[in-house]
A and B are shown apart, each in its own frame.
Chain A
Amino acid sequence: MMGKLLTADFLKIKRKGLWFLTLLGPIGVVALQMVNYGVRKDYLLQQSDDDWGYFLLNIHSFTPLAIVLGIAILTSFMASIENETNAWKQLIALPVSKLSVYLSKFTVLAILLFLSSTLLMIFTLSYGLFLNLGEPVPYLELAKFSYFPALAALPILALQLWIASVCHNQGIPITVGIFGVIFAYSSYVLPDWMIWKWPSLMNQWDEPIINVMLGVGIGILLYIVGMIDFARRDVK
């Protein structure tokens, strides 16, 4: 049943700009560094002995913001496909369980998010090689900086999808999304327990993996809570 729902959901996101956004996010993040390194490459290379590491840190300074913003927009688009003409009632009157309907939406968004991360990794690597940052290329670090923020952002995805699919007024998830972006922007001053801080991979122990584990754990938890609430509600 999941496979059928997924192919249907991928068909429904056609012409909605979701694929475009998935592409735009990583391009934007890398493009900012293209400007940065394009203007003052020599100065930036002087800042650190580890040119690749410094480059990755620069890339990473915008990744959390792009992810939080991207998630807010993608979830809202995703929910709007069903909300626009209240197609929820048509979808749920089909022989499918409500849980799998919700899981399918979440899966599509997660796939888009990880596609975006993969693209980020490819673009970062390409531009890094173009800048000639030297050997060896830190592939492991590169993968960490590409996928960790997305994994740490899973709770935000789960929360935004929950709000977007139970609120008929799309102003609410958008508002939450905007606050999320503001929070993500001010990660430095946020306490460690705020989920919007996690994609920045910062915490008091300086261990990014903690954010990833928290992200996956709390992400699953929030997903389950959202799914149960979605299934419990009457379809208007």
Chain B
Amino acid sequence: MQFKFSKFATVLITSGIISLPLAAHANDSSELEELRALVQQLDQQVKVLARKGEISEEETAAAKKTNPVVKASEKGFGLESADGKSVIKFRGLLQADGRNFSSGKNLTSKAASGASTAGYLDNTESAKDTALLRRIRPTLEGTVYGKYDFRFTPEFGDGKSQVVDAYIDARLDPAFKIRAGKYKPFVGLERLQSGSDIKFLERSYVSNILPNRDVGISAFGDVLDGKFSYAVGVHNGVTDGGDNVTSSDANSDKDYAARIFATPFKDADNALAGLGVGIAGTYGKVTGTTKDTINGSTTELTSGYKTEGQQTFFKYVDSSVLRSGIGEGVSSTGGPGASWLVHADGKRSRFAPQASYYYGPFGLITEYVRESQEVSVGAQNLKKTTLHNNAWQVAGTWLITGEDASFKGVKPKNNFDFDKRTWGAWEIVGRYSELNIDNDAFTFGNLGAGTGVTATAFNTLAYSPAGTASLQTINHYLYADPKASAKSAKTWTVGVNWYLNPEVKLALNYEQTKFDGGGGDLTSSTGAGTTNATFTDLIRNSTVRDREDERAILARFQVAF
């Protein structure tokens, strides 16, 4: 419309096609005046239309400064205010896994005889092949007032229904930020990698010992142009690999965590640019109770170290271990009970040097952790000692399609599109990881005469010891039973990741785990299951063989946005 008026007016005014011939042929001056008025009127209309267009553009530009922006990308879906200070995003992570065990009689899912809860080691059956939803995590995150971020992530996968993350960040300065709520404590390098970005289906043994998630508050930040980061925090404290619940702490002692990580050559144009080294640790005092539930955590000790196939291969003496091992055959109404249970009793410290290196399509990550944990036995806190467990891992990755490797996810150069014959990004991965339990954890002995432990509970056993057998002088494995637990696990893992696009990934891992120091079946049943046996010694070390190797193929289909 604007164009038509403009064109018409221009033609009328500039060409003189109308005005000059009319002036020449029409003597009627009033007609000429009318035409002039018409031209002026049309000229005004053209200008008005043009001005309205200008105003409309100005208003549109002004509206852009205030209207919220709807966003949809591989980083999720969301709404953002025009000034970017208020943001809300919806993200999600879905992992559908398959596990196939080709060997190893390592089932841990059955309930012991007389026990009501699953969780003890059954050496007669292989772990079950299964399909499962490993992670189902919708996430709501955002920013308010430009500096305050929040994140809320529940977990519905792996049979759970719980809060994974719920925290608030205050970004007061790049060098000083505060995080409060439930989150990953700033400790483990591999743990800090997002569940959607980890290069293997399961994290290594290092993450069996370092904390998973805890409730507390941390200060953290980046200094020296981001080449040095630090974090310090105070938390309720969690057991090894533990995921704290959102309720209050069971005791008043707190765990302290600290981490420094440096990427000194970050901006350099050389091969060291992708090098990062750091060190982290936790320290706290923790005292568990002698109450125990199978796989429970009131002992403030790990509920169990797991293989990549998520099979428990080590746990301290708890009621499930008593029933499957040293107290085999014990009915649910009897047994040594609280007198033989192991619990945390004092200092717990973890020390974790760590490093990562990325160069072009190659990536390397390595981490070590050594834990010192004070433990004791029974309600009288007997046989107190410090156990030192450690784990380490080294993992390499190679993006054979040439993308740059990084700590975060992979963005394929070309997304998978069969019609265009583009195949996404392909990555080969390999890792060695091991976990070693302190020899002293398998100490064979007794609580000692005169320690005040009565035989009352023991005497209720269906096969009570004859005569004068006393609970406090019966030899047994004090902290961990080699029939139920292995002393070490060593795992090789190889795999391939196929990134169809930044949001969809297929992954396949093959892992082989060798166990040392027990954890297998009995080679004989000396002293076990024999009614009215003379209980001077319970099951002996020599009667236990190593747990069978675990060989498993793990597969995953993942969508993360």
- A interacts with B: no
State the B residues within 8 Å of A (CB). Answer: none
